[in-house]
Every structure is written in structure tokens, then in C-alpha cells.
């Protein structure tokens, strides 16, 4: 039996790495990868606590819903990134800084 | 230390190391493949927590769906040379490091201070030996169609709306290029 703390520590490390990727990367797709890592880290915590809830399995149910929301979020995010790339000819978040058409 | 716990720690280290590789690599394609390793290792950790159905769903949706989408995004938005993948200048990588290390320190400190086995529902599960170890598919199926049927339907509508919206947003690029 793995102690609960070890799941939580792996989850915390993955969350922090995801946050660092999201905050520090230039590329929009890399930022999206950071968000996916953070969602995965939250799922680890939900599943780890759900071991002690063998009747209702609320944590596992919630992590399934989180996975579905992550899929929807990635699809919409990538569509927006492709649109931004066709407009600015770059996916670099530092250069995407005006809403209006540059004149 | 039993064999199962050794395998668990191997997967835990693999997940953290490949996530760290995403942070430090300059090549976005390598980052996508490191993300694959992270997702598979996390799926293995779900199995150790008795969540077999969540693990299979993770492999099917994350590895089979989201990662393929991300790879398509990489192929569509990366120029052949000069991959712009290193740290941003506008927020400042140093501030991101400080925030990250502080958050990791606080979280790990808190996890060691809290005695989780004193929580009432966890101690009850230990006392009556109800810690989930077997398969969970039957319970998940029953839950999805009884207590959780409302969120199940809501998430189905959300997923359909999001996928239709994504197809519409991406197709406007194609329409614009056809016009030219």
C-alpha cells in the first residue's frame, strides 16, 4: 500500500512544473501543455483520495469529468492558436499583443 | 519495500522527470513526446490507486486524443527552422521560478505536517478495511447512470458544444485562405 502522501507529493511536483511551464514558456502550445500537466496533477490527488471512498468513488467520477473538460479545453485552445498563427504568422505569446488589425 | 511499491516509485520518478524535461527542452517536438511519457506514467499511478477505469480513460483520451491534437498543433504552427520555444521575456522566467519553488515548498511542507490517517473518513476506511483495491468499473457505471446522471449529461453537451466551436473557429482559417 503506497502512502497517501507520496501520491500528493507527485501531484504537487507535477502541478508546480506545469505552472512553471505555463508561466515561463514563449510558445502558446507549450503553455497549453503546462495546463494539461496541472489538470493531470489535480486528477492524481482526486484519484488518491478516492481510494478511501470505495462506495461512492466520488474522486474517480470527478477526475473523469476533469479529463473530459481537459479534452474540450485543448480542442478549443488549439483552434484559437491556429487562428492566431494564421493572423500573426507566429505562435509566440510575446509577439501576440494587439487585438486590432495592425495598420 | 515490495515490488509493487518499487514499480510505483519508478513511474512517479518518470512522471516528474519527463515533466521537468518539458520545462527545460528547447525543442517543442521533444516536449510533446515527454508529455506522452508523463501521461503514461500518471496512468500507471492511477492503476496503483485502484482506479483502473480512469487509467484506461487517461490513455485513450490524453494519449490518443489530446496528445495527437497537440502534435498537430506543433506541426501546423512551428516554422521549420528557428523553433521559438525558450523562456518568455514579458512575465520573466525568474519570477516564475520563485513562484513555483515557493508553491512546491509550501505544498510538500503541508503534506508532511498533516496526519491524513486521522481524518475521519480515511480512518473509518482503514478500520473497516474498505480501502479500494479491486476493479471500479461496475461502480462507476452504476454511478454515472444514477447519482451522477446530471453532470454526465451536462458534460456531454459541453463536449459537443466545445468540439463544434473548435471546428468552426479552425474552419474560419480555411475560409479566409480560400477567399484570397
Tens-place pLDDT, residues B148-164: 899 999 999 999 999 99
Pick from B22, B51, B76: which is nearest to A85 by CB? B76
Buried/exposed code over B98-112 (b: 16+ C-beta within 10 A; e: otherwise): ebbeeebeebbeebe
Alpha helices in B58-148 (DSSP H): 67-77, 93-113, 120-127, 137-145
Q: What pLDDT is stored for residue B79 in this prediction?
A: 72
If you ran DSSP here, which 8-state letter would residue B58 be given? I
Q: What pLDDT is stored for residue B170 in this prediction?
A: 83
User: Residue B92: pLDDT above 90?
Assistant: no
Mean pLDDT score, A16-36: 90
Q: Among residues of chain B, what percentage have pLDDT more than 70? A: 91
User: Residue B50: pLDDT above 90?
Assistant: no
Rounded to two decimals, the pTM is: 0.89
Nearest chain A residue (CA) to B131: A52
In a mutational test of the B interface, the residue from A54, A62, A93, A98 whose CB has the highest number of chain B CBs within 10 Å is: A54
Looking at beta carbons, which residues of chain A come within 8 Å of B149?
A: none
Q: Among residues of chain A, what percentage have pLDDT more than 90? A: 50
Looking at the complex, report in whole angstroms how far the Cα of residue B119 sits from the nearest Cα belonging to chain A: 11
Pick from A23, A28, A74: which is nearest to B96 by CB? A23
Looking at beta carbons, which residues of chain A come within 8 Å of B66?
A: 36, 70-71, 74
Q: Say which residue the cell 471512498 belongs to.
A: A53
Phi, psi of B31 (to 5 degrees): -60, -40
CA-to-CA separations, B160 to A61, B1, B75, in angstroms, rounded: 19, 46, 25
B128: cell is 473497516
User: Residue B86: pLDDT above 70?
Assistant: no
Amino acid at each position: 500500500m503506497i502512502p497517501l502522501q507520496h501520491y500528493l507529493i507527485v501531484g504537487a511536483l507535477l502541478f508546480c512544473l506545469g505552472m512553471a511551464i505555463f508561466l515561463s514558456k514563449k510558445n502558446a502550445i507549450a503553455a497549453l501543455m503546462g495546463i494539461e500537466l496541472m489538470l493531470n496533477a489535480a486528477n492524481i490527488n482526486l484519484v488518491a483520495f478516492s481510494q478511501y471512498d470505495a462506495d461512492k468513488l466520488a474522486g474517480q467520477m470527478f477526475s473523469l469529468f476533469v479529463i473530459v473538460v481537459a479534452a474540450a479545453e485543448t480542442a478549443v485552445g488549439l483552434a484559437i492558436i491556429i487562428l492566431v498563427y494564421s493572423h500573426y504568422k507566429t505562435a509566440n505569446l510575446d509577439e501576440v499583443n494587439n487585438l486590432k488589425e495592425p495598420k | 519495500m515490495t515490488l509493487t511499491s518499487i514499480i510505483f516509485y519508478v513511474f512517479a520518478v518518470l512522471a516528474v522527470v519527463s515533466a521537468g524535461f518539458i520545462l527545460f527542452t528547447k525543442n517543442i517536438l521533444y516536449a510533446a513526446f515527454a508529455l506522452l511519457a508523463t501521461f503514461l506514467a500518471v496512468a500507471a499511478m492511477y492503476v496503483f490507486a485502484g482506479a483502473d477505469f480512469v487509467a484506461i480513460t487517461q490513455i485513450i483520451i490524453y494519449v490518443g486524443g489530446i496528445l495527437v491534437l497537440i502534435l498537430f498543433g506543433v506541426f501546423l504552427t512551428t516554422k521549420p527552422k528557428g523553433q521559438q520555444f525558450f523562456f518568455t521575456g514579458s512575465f520573466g522566467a525568474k519570477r516564475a521560478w520563485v513562484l513555483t519553488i515557493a508553491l512546491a515548498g509550501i505544498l510538500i511542507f503541508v503534506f508532511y505536517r498533516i496526519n491524513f490517517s486521522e481524518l475521519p473518513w480515511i480512518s473509518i476506511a482503514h478500520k473497516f478495511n474498505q480501502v479500494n483495491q479491486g476493479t471500479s468499473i461496475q461502480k462507476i457505471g452504476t454511478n454515472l447512470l444514477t447519482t451522477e446522471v446530471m453532470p454526465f449529461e451536462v458534460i456531454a453537451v459541453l463536449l459537443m458544444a466545445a468540439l463544434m466551436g473548435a471546428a468552426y473557429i479552425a474552419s474560419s482559417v480555411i475560409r479566409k485562405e480560400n477567399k484570397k
